[in-house]
Amino acid sequence: MPLEIYANAPNQRTTIVKMPDEDSVRVYDGTSGWIAGPDRTTPLTTLSGPNLFGARLEAMISFPSRIQQEFNRWRSAKAVIEDKEFAVAQGTKTGQLPVNFYFDKSTGLLKRVMRWNQTAVGPVPTQTDYEDYRDVAGIKVPFRTIVTWTDGKSTIELKEVRPNVPIEAARFSRPAPARPRR
């Protein structure tokens, strides 16, 4: 399905999935987050707890200069993914489970982010892989993102990235609730 992603520094992000009957919208405005769409059980969900933190993290990865300050403790390790060596930086923020950032040792590019949500049955992982980096205005941008969670997977493939384009503030506002299902 076609989608549009709008990102504004330092930490705003809106993703719009173009669905047949009505768009599905996910917004993080820098403080609050929401999801609205016909694929949801409620017309408008206000994000909280780990889900809000996940939306914040997604927005920050678009403009990563502030990620280091987001976490109050860091640890480092090594890992191998698909026969390649990666440097792993694990950030911990008070009240949240750790987040692992996997950087390709040969390029320095972010390959994977692994985070967990605490649930009643224990921690549940969400893995985001970044691939197909291309140069856009002097910055390496991943044109393919694969998000995998306990019961699903989605792949986002970008066709076009337009940096430094003005984005109207309304794009980062609370979305209208989705129409009730019929």
- Domains contained in the chain, CATH given: 3-172 (2.50.20.10)
DSSP 10: T
HSE of 85, CA atoms in CB hemisphere, 13 A: 5
- Ranges of the chain whose pLDDT falls below 50: none
Q: How many CB atoms lie within 10 A of CB 65?
A: 9
How far apart CA 83 and CA 44 sit, in angstroms, is 42
In Å, what is the CA distance from 69 to each residue of 65, 93, 104, 169, 173? 9, 10, 21, 25, 25
How far apart CA 120 and CA 99 sit, in angstroms, is 19
pLDDT at 128: 97
Whether the Cβ atoms of residue 37 and residue 15 lie closer than 8 Å to each other: no
The model carries a pTM of 0.91
Whether the Cβ atoms of residue 101 and residue 117 lie closer than 8 Å to each other: no
